[in-house]
Amino acid sequence: MDVHVTGSTVRGSTRAPSSKSYTHRALLAAGYSDGATVRSPLVSADTKATARAVSAFGGRVNAGDEIPDDAKTLAIDGFGGRPAVPEDVIDCMNSGTTMRLVTAAAALADGTTVLTGDGSLRSRPQGPLLDALSDLGVRAESTRDNGLAPLVVTGPLAGGEVAIPGDVSSQYVTALLMAGAVTDDGIEIDLTTALKSAPYVDITLELLGEFGIEATPVDDGGDPIDGAAGAAGFVVPGGQTYEPAGGSYAVPGDFSSISYLLAAGAIAGKSGGDGETVRIEGARPSAQGDAAIVEIAERMGAAVDWDRDAGAITVEHSPLSGVAVDVGDTPDLLPTIAVLGAVADGDTRIENCEHVRYKETDRVSAMAEELGKMGAETTEDPDVLTVHGDESDLRGATVDGRADHRIVMALAVAALAAEGTTTIRGAEHVDVSFPDFFETMADLGMDVERDK
């Protein structure tokens, strides 16, 4: 589907969608339990893939009925830590989180599970997780023997000690921690490189805690530390039982999604003289590293206010200046920061971004090339994307969303500040994390037309 976005201003109040990362983990944790209710889930293409995997392992989501797009709660009958051997191949579609978390869950089953995904997911690295599971005594293979899906996993997994790199995907650590809790022996993970995307492991640790599961980051002496940043490894004892307090878990708002709303306000938010700006609700503090978008936008000069107690962010347009940002912890913010950089004065250097190339698409190249079509000047290095705001003058163009939700949403925000109309191809891919993105933006004032 193509959308056509014409330069426009935005204002008004909106609510952030629920967190994709927390929803995946909550659905799977509920699957690992005897049963639990997930409140305010994100219902999207990716989280539905995880829900289907839970069902494939013998759980039941929403009494076996299709999940309505507006579901406010999801009741899950779990498989009690013992996944059944699925009757069919598990299709993880476009979702890296589903594939990594479900691969480790599959290793617990006493039999063989086959996992696949769409063309994008079948090109993303799974090798380090397969190697780790193999070292733990599981048969975990790529059908093409190239570290890519389709994957074939034959359990069961008893646990043990394993080494894994931390610089490809933090999702391998999350996967091993979630599965490790229900093994007999537990899992000790030694990181062979520093961990990137560390806040996502903090999200995992926070959620595991809410489900009554103990898992601990450790330093290189094996002593417990607070938080995943700087950890040399992790320890999760086996034989644990997933059980959320009160039988239910509530998903917070999604700061990666909030980043587009905030950026839209920062580059095109107009108060209209009545004090009303862009207000984003559902922004309560949690372990999400992507909450850094508030500080990044502030550093660039945006007029942002985050009332943490109320969980509300207000933002208004003001002139932006380029900054240097390290996205080692926050890879999903790169497309948003690149757009802010394209309208800012001076250079915006997005550093430590090599792992952002292993996403639904190579987002470093994708943003350089697609923003380039709109008149932005960038310099791309393997690990750094520099956006030259002074040399950029955004104008409408036809751009390719690269079948990647974050590229589509970032380009739509850029189009707000562009002269004329921008056509974005493949706009339907927002269904991965923010299905109502274009409705939400239209309500805020974005001039957007969708082709049927």
Ligand X SMILES: O=C(O)C1=C[C@@H](OP(=O)(O)O)[C@@H](O)[C@H](O)C1
Report CA-CA distances (Å) from 33 to 110, 175, 181, 183, 354. 18, 16, 11, 13, 36
State which residue, 126 or 183, has the beta carbon closest to ligand PEP. 126
> Smallest distance from the beta carbon of 309 to ligand X, in angstroms?
26
Residue 378 interacts, among ligand X, ligand PEP, none and using kind-specific CB cut-offs from 5 to 8 Å, with none
Q: Based on CB atoms, which residue is closest to ligand X, 265 or 335?
A: 335
Task: Sketch the per residue contact string, 40 through 59, with ligand PEP: x for CB under 6 A, - otherwise.
Answer: ------x-------------
Interatomic CA distance for residues 33 and 54, integer angstroms: 11
* Residue 21, annotated as binding a ligand: yes
For residues 312-351, which are near ligand X according to CB under 6 A?
331-332
3-state secondary structure of 30: helix
Binding mask 293-312 for ligand X (x = CB under 6 A): --------------------
* Distance in Å, CB of 242 to ligand PEP, minimum: 21
Of residues 94, 126, 154, 170, which one binds ligand X by CB under 6 A? 170
Dihedral sign from CA coordinates of 209, 16, 320, 355:
positive
Residue 180 found at the interface with ligand X (CB under 6 A): no
Among 33, 44, 95, 97, contact with ligand X (rule: CB under 6 A) = 97
- Both tokens assigned to 316: 């208004």
Is 169 annotated for ligand binding? yes
User: Cis ω on the peptide bond leading into residue 156 (within 30° of 0)?
Assistant: yes
Residue 359 near ligand PEP by CB under 6 A = yes
Closest CA to 57 of 27, 90, 83: 83
Task: Report how far residue 80's alpha carbon sits from residue 58's, in angstroms, rounded to the nearest whole number.
Answer: 9
Q: Which of 290, 316, 329, 332 binds ligand PEP (CB under 6 A)?
A: 332
- Rounded CA-CA distance 49/205 in Å is 22
25 is in an annotated binding site: yes
Angle at the Cα of 14 (from 13 to 19), degrees rounded to 5?
150
Sign for the pseudo-dihedral over CA of 32, 37, 39, 42: positive
How far is C-alpha 15 from the geometric centre of its chain's CA atoms? Answer: 18
Residue nearest to ligand PEP (CB): 96
User: Of 259 and 392, which CB lies nearer to ligand PEP in the complex structure?
Assistant: 259
Instruction: State the catalytic residue, choosing from 77, 91, 332, 347.
Output: 332
With CB cut-offs between 5 and 8 Å by kind, which of ligand PEP, ligand X, none does residue 202 bind? Answer: none
Closest approach, Cβ 100 to ligand PEP, in A, equals: 8
Say if residue 401 carries a ligand binding annotation.
no
Q: What are phi and psi of 436, to 5 degrees?
A: -95, 20
Determine whether the annotation assigns residue 96 to a binding site.
Answer: yes
Does the annotation list 170 as a binding residue?
yes
Determine phi and psi for 268, rounding to 5 degrees.
Answer: -145, 15
Is 139 marked as a binding-site residue? no
Among the listed residues 19, 44, 50, 97, the single contact to ligand PEP using CB under 6 A:
97
Known catalytic membership, residue 332: yes
By CB under 6 A, residue 200 contacts ligand X:
yes
The answer to whether 363 and 385 have CB atoms below 8 angstroms apart is no
Task: Tell me the window of 5-13, 93-101, 257-265, 345-353 that interacts with ligand PEP (CB under 6 A).
Answer: 93-101
Q: Smallest distance, Å, CB 53 to ligand PEP? A: 13
> What do you get for the CA distance between the two ends of the chain, in Å?
7
Which ranges of 14-77 does DSSP label H, i.e. alpha helix? 20-32, 45-56
Cβ contact 420:395 at 8 Å: yes
Question: How many CB atoms sit inside 10 A of residue 12's CB?
Answer: 15
CA–centroid distance for 386 within its chain: 23
Q: Which residues are catalytic?
A: 332
Binding site for ligand PEP (CB under 6 A): 20, 46, 95-97, 332, 359-360, 406, 433
- Residue ranges of the annotated binding site for phosphoenolpyruvate are 20, 96, 124, 171, 363, 406
Binding site for ligand X (CB under 6 A): 21, 97, 169-171, 174, 197, 200, 331-332, 355
